[in-house]
C-alpha cells in the first residue's frame, strides 16, 4: 500500500508541474465532432462541446490540459519552459497520461485530453512520444472521448499525419503573426516550420473526407458563412475548394509539401481508427497578443488568411502574460491586455459568423480597435448610410450587421416575421438588445424613438447606456478601466513590418 | 367574473410527471369543452391556491393516454416540435402543462412551423421553458461529478432546478456503457440506475438507501486530490477573475462538485 502511495505522490507532483506549464495555452474547447459511444469503449463526444468546470481566472476547463514533458530544446523568450529557464523538468510516461485521462474521464471531470509537449531531443522524437501515448489511450485503454494534440513544428510530415488518426483536433501554434516577431522571440521557430504541419493537417482532412466521407472532418463556421454569402450549396463549395486546393493554383505554392509524399490511409490502422476519421474536429491555432508591436489590423488580416487558406476551425488569442524577465519582452504595467484580447475575439466572431472581412473591421488608417466600442458598433457608425434597416424586409446578413442583433436573434426574426408583423416589443422577446439596436432599425417603417442618425449623437447615447459596463471577464477585482486605457496607448507604438501570410 | 355569465373555467389537476400531464392533456382535449375555458395545473405538494368559479378535475395518470398524445404529436406535427413540448414538461415552472396544452391547437393546424410563432404567448412560454431545461441539462453534462464507491460503482449526486434525470441519463449511458453508475437527484429523491451494458431505469430512493452512499474508496480520494490540484494550477494568476468564474459557474451548481470543496 505504501508503494502505491509513493507512486501517487510522484504522479501528483508531475501533474502539478506539467499542468502548470501547460496553462498558458488557451484552447480548451471540446467541440467540433459528434461521436456516439460504443460497447467496450469509454466515451463519446458532443459537437457543441461541454465545459466541465471553470478555474479561478474564469476560463473553462474542458480537457485535461498537460504537457507530456516540460523539457525543451527551444528557447522561446515568452515561454515558461524555455531551455534557459532554471525550473524542475519532468515527463509523464504514456501510461501515466492514460491513467489520469481515463480515471478523470469516468468521474466526469473532463471531456478528454489536451496533450501538448516541450520539444525533447528533437521534434520527431517528441512527435513519436505523442503518437505512442495517443495510440495507447485509444487502443489499449479504449478511450473514445475527445483528444486535442499539438503538432510539433519541424516534425516529419508522416508523424504529424499519424497523430491525426488518433486525435480529434490538432493545432500548431502560430504564436506571433509576423516573421520578424518570431525571429526575435522564438529564434528556433520559423514561419515555414509552423505552416508546413498546418498545411499537412489541412490536406489530410480534405483527402480523408474524399476517401472516408464526412467523418474526415466537418467545415468551420467561416467556411459555412462564406458559402451562404455566395449562395452556394455545400457540394458546390466543396468542389470549388478541391480545385483551389489541389488544382493548378495550388501547385505553384506547395512544392515543398509534395516532396513529403502524398496522403494515404496507413494500412496499419484498425477499422475503429478509420471510422473515427482524420482530425474530425479540424485544426486550430493560437496567437499571442501584445508581446510584439504589430497592429490589430495586421493580426486580423493574418487571421482571415488562416481561416480562408488553411481552413482553420478556430484561432485563439492569448493576452501576453510576462512569465520571464527578458529584455526582448514588453513590460505591461496594466497586466495582460485583456480588453485587446476581448476585441480580438469579437472581431473573430465577426469574421466567422457575420460575414465581415478584416478590411471592413479595421483599416490601414485606423489599424487598432476602439477601446470604448465593440468592432461591430464601430463599423456601423462608420457606415450610417446603410441604416436604418427595416426589420420586416432586411435579409439575414443585413440583420446581422445591426448592433444588438446576433445570429440567434437574426434567425428568430426571419422565422417569426413569417407569422406576424414584428414590433419593438416582439424584438425584445426574440433576444434583440434594443438599447443598442434602436438607432439602426425600423419596425414597419417607424423607429422606436425619434433619434438622429448621426455618429456623435449615437456614440454619446451608446456610451451612456453602457457606462461602466464592460463584459464580466474584464471587470475582475483587479481590473479597472484606467488600466485598460493605459495599456492600449502602449500597444500602438512602433508597428512592426507586417508581411502577408504566404507559404 | 360574475355568476351565471358564460361558461365556468375547468381546471385539470395533473400529477407532476410526464405521464400525469400527458394524460391531463388527453382528458382535457377529449372533453371538447372549448380550449379557452380549459387550464391545466400541476399542484405543488402543499396544495396551491384554488381559483373561484371553476370546476376542478383530478387527472388519474394513464400510460395509454399519454402514449397516444405523444404519438399523435409526432405524427401530425413533427418530431422536433414533440421534443420541444416534452422538454418543456420537465420544467420547474408550474405553468408548463397549461402552456403545452394551449400550443397544441395551433400546432395541429400550422404543423412543424408552430414554434416559429414566437409572438404567441404560449409558444413563447414553451420555447423558454424548453430552453431553460435544455440549458440546465447541458450544464450538468459537464458539472456532474461521479465518485467511485466500493465495488467500482460510480455515484453522482445533483439537485437540479428542473427535472433532468431522463435527459442527462442517456448521455452518460452512451458515454459509459461499461460502467455501473447511479445518478441521484437529491431534491426529488429519485435516481437513474445503470448496470453495465443494460438500459438505465429510474426509481425513487428511500432515506436508508440514501445513507448507504458514502463509502468512497482510498483510490477515489487520491484522484479527487489530483483533480483539485489540477483545477488550482491550471488557473493563470495574472488573470484571476472570481466574478467571471461565478457568473459561468454559479454557486447552486457547485454543491456536489468535487473541486469546489
Nearest to B240 among A106, A108, A476 (CB): A476
What does the pLDDT read at residue A393? Answer: 94
Q: Which residue of B176, B197, B249 is in closest CB contact with A106? A: B176
For a pLDDT cut of 90, what percent of chain B falls above it? Answer: 74
| Strand, coil or helix: A54 | strand
- The pLDDT tens digits for B234-247 are 999 989 999 999 99
- Give the model confidence (pLDDT) of B81-109 as tens digits: 999 999 999 999 999 999 999 999 999 99
Chain B residues inside the 8 Å CB shell of A429: 118-119, 124
A235 vs B: CB within 8 A: no
Mutation target to probe the B interface, by most B beta carbons within 10 A, among A106, A143, A338, A339 is A106
d(CA B44, CA B92) in angstroms, rounded, equals 11
**10 Å Cβ neighbour count for A491?**
21
Among candidates B145, B227, B235 on the partner chain, residue whose Cβ is nearest the Cβ of A55? B235
| Interface contact flag, B142 A62, Cβ < 8 Å | yes
Nearest CA in chain A to B229: A16
Residue B38 is predicted with a pLDDT of 92
If pLDDT is split at 50, 70 and 90, which confidence band does B150 have?
confident
Chain B environment of A48 (Cβ under 8 Å): 138
Percent of chain B beyond pLDDT 70? 96
A478: which chain B residues are within 8 Å (Cβ-Cβ)? 240-241
**Cβ <8 Å between B242 and A476:** yes
Banded model confidence at residue B130, pLDDT cuts 50, 70, 90: very high
Burial B88-117 (b: 16+ CB within 10 A, else e): bbbbebebbbbbbbbbbebbeebeeebbbb
Q: Which residues pair with A35 in a beta bridge?
A: A45
ipTM of the complex: 0.91
Strand (E) positions, A349-477? 389-390, 441-442
Could you give the angle at the alpha carbon of A228 between the alpha carbons of A224 and A231, nearest 5°?
Answer: 140
* Per-residue confidence (pLDDT) for residue A463, from 0 to 100: 83
> How far does B180 lie from chain A, in Å, by closest CA?
11
Contact A8 B234 (CB under 8 A): no
pLDDT of amino acid A132:
97
Instruction: Show residues of chain A in contact with B118, CB under 8 Å.
Output: 412, 415-416, 426, 429-430
What residue ranges do the domains of chain A occupy?
Answer: 2-349, 371-491
Among residues A200, A207, A217, A202, which one has the least CA distance to residue A155? A200
Residue to test with chain B: of A41, A56, A421, A429, most B Cβ within 10 A: A56
Residue B11 phi, psi dihedral angles, 5° rounding: -115, 125
| Nearest chain A alpha carbon to B258 | A109
Q: What pLDDT, on the 0 to 100 scale, is given for residue A496?
A: 34
Domain boundaries A2-349, corresponding CATH code: 3.20.20.70
Instruction: Answer yes or no: do B172 and A20 touch at CB < 8 A.
Output: no
The residue among B51, B69, B58 whose CA lies nearest residue B12 is B58
- Domain coordinates in residue numbering, chain B: 9-136, 144-260
Say if CB A444 and CB A450 are below 8 A apart. Answer: no
User: CB distance from A3 to chain B under 8 Å?
Assistant: no
- Which residues of chain B have a CB within 8 Å of the CB of A111? 142
Q: Is A208 helix (H, G, I), strand (E, B) or coil?
A: helix
Q: Which of A106, A111, A472 sits opposite B146 (nearest CB)?
A: A106
Please enumerate in sequence order all residues whose Cβ is within 8 A of that of A482, keeping only pairs 6 or more positions apart, or say none. Answer: none
Q: What is d(CA A208, CA A164) in angstroms, rounded to the nearest whole number?
A: 11
Interchain contact A100–B (C-beta under 8 A)? yes
* Angle between the N-to-C axes of helices A94-106 and B218-233, in degrees from 0 to 180, rounded to the nearest 10: 100
Chosen for mutation from B230, B246, B250 (greatest number of chain A CBs closer than 10 Å) is B230
**Which residues in chain A are contacts of B231 at CB distance < 8 A?**
53, 55, 61
- Share the mean pLDDT of chain B: 91
pLDDT of residue B214: 67
| pTM: predicted TM-score of the whole model, two decimal places | 0.87
Written as tens digits, the pLDDT of chain A (503 aa) is 333 434 455 899 999 999 999 998 887 788 888 888 888 889 999 988 999 999 999 999 999 999 999 999 999 999 999 999 999 999 999 999 999 999 999 999 999 999 999 999 999 999 999 999 999 999 999 999 999 999 999 999 999 999 999 999 999 999 999 989 999 999 888 888 899 999 999 988 888 777 766 555 678 889 989 998 988 888 888 888 777 766 654 444 444 444 444 555 666 667 777 778 889 899 999 999 999 999 999 999 999 999 999 999 999 999 999 999 899 999 988 889 999 999 999 999 999 999 999 999 999 888 999 888 899 999 999 899 999 999 999 999 999 999 999 999 999 999 999 988 999 999 998 999 999 999 999 999 999 988 888 888 898 888 876 654 544 455 444 433 333 433 443 333 333 333 333 33
Grid coordinates given for A98: 492514460
Q: Give the burial class of B63: count Cβ atoms within 10 A of its Cβ; 0-12 exposed, 13-18 middle, 19 or more buried.
A: exposed
Which tens digit of pLDDT belongs to each residue from B191-221? 999 999 899 999 988 877 777 776 788 889 9
Q: What pLDDT does A267 receive?
A: 64
B-interface mutation test, from A7, A8, A57, A289, most B Cβ less than 10 A away: A57
Cα separation, A409 vs A415, in Å, equals 10
Break chain B down into helix, strand, coil percent, rounded to 5: 55, 15, 35
Residue B1 pLDDT greater than 50, yes or no: no
Pairing of strands B9-13, A314-319: unpaired
- Distance in Å, alpha carbon of B54 to nearest chain A alpha carbon: 32
Q: Is the predicted pLDDT of residue B46 greater than 90, yes or no?
A: no
pLDDT at B185: 94
**pLDDT at A143 (0 to 100):** 95
Amino acid at each position: 500500500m505504501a508503494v502505491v502511495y509513493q507512486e501517487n505522490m510522484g504522479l501528483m507532483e508531475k501533474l502539478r508541474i506539467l499542468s502548470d506549464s501547460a496553462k498558458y495555452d488557451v484552447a480548451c474547447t471540446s467541440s467540433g465532432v459528434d461521436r456516439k459511444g460504443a460497447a467496450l469503449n469509454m466515451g463519446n463526444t458532443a459537437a457543441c462541446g461541454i465545459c466541465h468546470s471553470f478555474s479561478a481566472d474564469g476560463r473553462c476547463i474542458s480537457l485535461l490540459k498537460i504537457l507530456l514533458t516540460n523539457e525543451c530544446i527551444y528557447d522561446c523568450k515568452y515561454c515558461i519552459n524555455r531551455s534557459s529557464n532554471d525550473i524542475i523538468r519532468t515527463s509523464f510516461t504514456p501510461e501515466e497520461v492514460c491513467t489520469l485521462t481515463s480515471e478523470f474521464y469516468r468521474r466526469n471531470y473532463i471531456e478528454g485530453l489536451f496533450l501538448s509537449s516541450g520539444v525533447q531531443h528533437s521534434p520527431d522524437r517528441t512527435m513519436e512520444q505523442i503518437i505512442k501515448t495517443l495510440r495507447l489511450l485509444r487502443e489499449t485503454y479504449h478511450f473514445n472521448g475527445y483528444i486535442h494534440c499539438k503538432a510539433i513544428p519541424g516534425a516529419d510530415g508522416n508523424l504529424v499525419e499519424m497523430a491525426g488518426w488518433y486525435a480529434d483536433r490538432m493545432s500548431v501554434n502560430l504564436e506571433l503573426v509576423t516573421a520578424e516577431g518570431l525571429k526575435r522571440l522564438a529564434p528556433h521557430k520559423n514561419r515555414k516550420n509552423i505552416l508546413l504541419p498546418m498545411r499537412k493537417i489541412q490536406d489530410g482532412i480534405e483527402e480523408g473526407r474524399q476517401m472516408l466521407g464526412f467523418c474526415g472532418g466537418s467545415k468551420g463556421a467561416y467556411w459555412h458563412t462564406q458559402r451562404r454569402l455566395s449562395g452556394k450549396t455545400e457540394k458546390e463549395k466543396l468542389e470549388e475548394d478541391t480545385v483551389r486546393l489541389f488544382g493548378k493554383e495550388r501547385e505553384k505554392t506547395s512544392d515543398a509539401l509534395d516532396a513529403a509524399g502524398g496522403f494515404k490511409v496507413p494500412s496499419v490502422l484498425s477499422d475503429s481508427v478509420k471510422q473515427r476519421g482524420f482530425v474530425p474536429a479540424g485544426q486550430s491555432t493560437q496567437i499571442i497578443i501584445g508581446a510584439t508591436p504589430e497592429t490589430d489590423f495586421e493580426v486580423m488580416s493574418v487571421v482571415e488568411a488562416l481561416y480562408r487558406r488553411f481552413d482553420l476551425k478556430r484561432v485563439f488569442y492569448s493576452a501576453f502574460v510576462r512569465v520571464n524577465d527578458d529584455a526582448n519582452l514588453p513590460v505591461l504595467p496594466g497586466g495582460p491586455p485583456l480588453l485587446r484580447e476581448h476585441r480580438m475575439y469579437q472581431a473573430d466572431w465577426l469574421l466567422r459568423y457575420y460575414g465581415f472581412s478584416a478590411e471592413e473591421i479595421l483599416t490601414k488608417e485606423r489599424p487598432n480597435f476602439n477601446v470604448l466600442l465593440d468592432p461591430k458598433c464601430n463599423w456601423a457608425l462608420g457606415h450610417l448610410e446603410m441604416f436604418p434597416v427595416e426589420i420586416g424586409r432586411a435579409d439575414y446578413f443585413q440583420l446581422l450587421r445591426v448592433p444588438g442583433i446576433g445570429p440567434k436573434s437574426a434567425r428568430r426574426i426571419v422565422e417569426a416575421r413569417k407569422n406576424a408583423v414584428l414590433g419593438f416589443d416582439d424584438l425584445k422577446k426574440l433576444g434583440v438588445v434594443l438599447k443598442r439596436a434602436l438607432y439602426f432599425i425600423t419596425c414597419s417603417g417607424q423607429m422606436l424613438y425619434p433619434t438622429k442618425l448621426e455618429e456623435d449623437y449615437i456614440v454619446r447615447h451608446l456610451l451612456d447606456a453602457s457606462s461602466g459596463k464592460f463584459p464580466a471577464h474584464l471587470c475582475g477585482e483587479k481590473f479597472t478601466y484606467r488600466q485598460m486605457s493605459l495599456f492600449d496607448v502602449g500597444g500602438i507604438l512602433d508597428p512592426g513590418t507586417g508581411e502577408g501570410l504566404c507559404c | 367574473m360574475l355568476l351565471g355569465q358564460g361558461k365556468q373555467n375547468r381546471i385539470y389537476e395533473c400529477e407532476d410527471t410526464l405521464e400525469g400531464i400527458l394524460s391531463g392533456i388527453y382528458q382535457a382535449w377529449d372533453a371538447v369543452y372549448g380550449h379557452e375555458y380549459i387550464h391545466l395545473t400541476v399542484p405543488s405538494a402543499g396544495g396551491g391556491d384554488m381559483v373561484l368559479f371553476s370546476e376542478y378535475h383530478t387527472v388519474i395518470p394513464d400510460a395509454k393516454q399519454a402514449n397516444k398524445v405523444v404519438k399523435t404529436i409526432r405524427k401530425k406535427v413533427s418530431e422536433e416540435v414533440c421534443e420541444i413540448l416534452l422538454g418543456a414538461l420537465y420544467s420547474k415552472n408550474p405553468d408548463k402543462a397549461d402552456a403545452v396544452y394551449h400550443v397544441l391547437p395551433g400546432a395541429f393546424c400550422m404543423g412543424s412551423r408552430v414554434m416559429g410563432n414566437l409572438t404567441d404567448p404560449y409558444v413563447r412560454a414553451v420555447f423558454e421553458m424548453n430552453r431553460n431545461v435544455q440549458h440546465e441539462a447541458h450544464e450538468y453534462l459537464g458539472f456532474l461529478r461521479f465518485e467511485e464507491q466500493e465495488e467500482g460503482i460510480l455515484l453522482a449526486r445533483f439537485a437540479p432546478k428542473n427535472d433532468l434525470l431522463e435527459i442527462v441519463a442517456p448521455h452518460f449511458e452512451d458515454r459509459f456503457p461499461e460502467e455501473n453508475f447511479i445518478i441521484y437527484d437529491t431534491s426529488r429523491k429519485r435516481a437513474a440506475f445503470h448496470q453495465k451494458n443494460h438500459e438505465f431505469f429510474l426509481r425513487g430512493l428511500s432515506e436508508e438507501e440514501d445513507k448507504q452512499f458514502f463509502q468512497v474508496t482510498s483510490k477515489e480520494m487520491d484522484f479527487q486530490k489530483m483533480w483539485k490540484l489540477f483545477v488550482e494550477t491550471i488557473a493563470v494568476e495574472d488573470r484571476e477573475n472570481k466574478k467571471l468564474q461565478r457568473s459561468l459557474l454559479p454557486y447552486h451548481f457547485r454543491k456536489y462538485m468535487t473541486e469546489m470543496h
